[in-house]
Amino acid sequence: MEEKWKQREFDLASVADLCSGSSSSSPGKARFTFDGLQILQDSHQILVNVDLLTAQVFKLGPVQSVCIVEEGSDVVKKTSYSKGATLQFRNEEDSAAFHCVVQQWKKEGKVQGGNLLNGTVVTSKSKFDEKIESSSAKMYFHYYGQLLHQQNMLQDYVRTGTYYAAVIENRADFMGHVVVDVGAGSGILSLFAAQAGAKHVYAVEASEMAEYAQKLIAGNPTLAQRITVIKGKVEDVELPEKADVLISEPMGTLLVNERMLESYVIARDRFLTPNGKMFPAVGRIHMAPFSDEYLFIEIANKALFWQQQNYYGVDLTSLHGTAFQGYFSQPVVDAFDPRLLVAPPTFHVIDFTKIKEEDLYEIDIPLKFTASVGARVHGLACWFDVLFNGSTVPRWLTTAPGSPTTHWYQLRCVLSQPIYVMAGQEITGRLHLIAHNAQSYTIYLTLSAKMWGPGAEQGGILQTSSCKLDLKEPYYRMSQPQAYALAQDQQQPQPLLQTQDIHIQSQDLNESEIMQQPSPNSSVPINSLMQNI
């Protein structure tokens, strides 16, 4: 919608209350605002406020119109229009322009909005509303609007401690700068930014948690004067100034679940200055094939219930196949022993500073591994890390197996048909993620074992197994890593396969350094991290 008509006013030769029963009229104005349309009598007294999406505006003649406002419904749901005004324009040109603006409002889908201190929320049907199912959004914002869930995240000391360290150790990036906290939740990151000397922080939060955040921030008065809480989606909010820094915790399971990364990218495009910084700036999805006979049997056994032929006289076996596939369509969320990995991991980089929102709608990752041991491969294990590329101390937050467990745990996609590999054999495949409107992704996984040994270069695929999973509906196993007995040929402890930490020397993010596979000993111990807080 063009700015030139957002606040446009039309002088009226006369305006009269449609329902007063009086023939008296007086000059007035028709004023378009963010809320819709105001019809004023004597140019200052509001005669009627109009929601243009539900009101009816009719042209009665070249310069005469009538506006009828819906006031409600009767018991049988029949709409009652009982309020309105007749409008007399000064000329045909004004009349035509007025009706043009009305149609533009209806076309753009503008609805009510409100002004907030230092920011404006225009609650139009935004891009978020168009791509996300309303019931999913309602549940999502309800979940994050509860203090017990915020507490769960705050008590993840790896998460909270790493964010604190990343901000405080990089005060130079925050000192005297404007910061936007995207999806502020409890407001903890906004408070960290203020502690680091931010000039002003705009904490944008769409859920009811915005009210708790306001209360928490007000309870810290020395910081509160530099923080403004704005309740609304980043897709809708208007801010009075650009940000030098964006800070957010947009990561979900497998990094991309809940699709908040898209909102983070939208906030970047809307609010961040060209040379602004993002905390975090980069994410990586790590993947490796794994072998876990216990997990496979556990999932397969869930479907045994449906193999009963006489359950209260009912044969359930016709549903066994469907139930079996259903259990294997759930990604498993838990912490696992990294010794279960049968090949060194690979990773896929998502650069939050460069990626387009639309690129997150579909993520296609080719897979290629070389088996370290002979084993039955039960699926693909995944985890993620993110980089806070601070000017002073770059820092990684990792969810890798073998590292201190976070509330994200790790994720495993389990094949209903495992494949067999020998040490040195090549494993190929594809991890394909397609976003859906329930704020998550459908996962398509394929793993294949190539021919191995003499003459393998002339051969092709020996075995292939595929599965389809819904990232929205995982199996929350949540167990701590089990003590797995070493096989006879593995009595010597194996080094953990870790990929989570990279030491970056320069201030600028170097793409070749992101892509470099770090050494197994490059991780930062959590006790060292906590000592920095």
Inter-residue contact 272 to 246 (CB < 8 Å)? yes
- 328 vs 345: CA distance, rounded Å: 23
* CA proximity to 378, closest of 496, 293, 254, 288: 293
Pairing of strands 243-248, 272-279: parallel
Catalytic residue (one of 249, 262, 457, 473): 249
Distance of CA 265 to the CA centre of its chain: 10
Query: What Rg, from alpha-carbon coordinates, does the chain have?
Result: 29
Alpha carbons 410 and 499: distance in angstroms, whole number: 14
Which H or E run contains 48?
strand 45-50
CA distances from 495 to 284, 285, 402 (A): 22, 21, 10
- CB neighbourhood size of 45 (10 A): 10
Q: For strands 227-231 and 200-205, give the pairing.
A: parallel
Phi-psi region of 156 (alpha: psi -120 to 50; beta: other; left: phi over 0): beta
Residue 346 and residue 368 in contact, taking contact as beta carbons nearer than 8 Å:
yes
For residue 368, the cross-strand partners are 428
Q: In DSSP terms, which residues pair with 475 in a beta bridge? A: 332
- Contact present, 471 and 382 (Cβ < 8 Å): no
Specify whether 205 is catalytic: no
Which is catalytic among the residues 169, 235, 258, 262? 258
User: Is residue 249 annotated as a catalytic residue, yes or no?
Assistant: yes
Residue 207's CB: how many other CB atoms inside 10 A?
Answer: 21
Which secondary-structure segment (H or E) carries 200?
A: strand 200-205
Give the residue from 166, 194, 332, 180 showing the smallest Cα distance to 241: 180
Which residues face 396 on adjacent strands? 387
Q: What angle do CA 96, 100, 104 make, to 5 degrees?
A: 175
Q: Which residues contact 88 (CB under 8 A, 6 or more apart)?
A: 12, 13, 14, 15, 25, 63, 64
Q: Catalytic site residues?
A: 249, 258
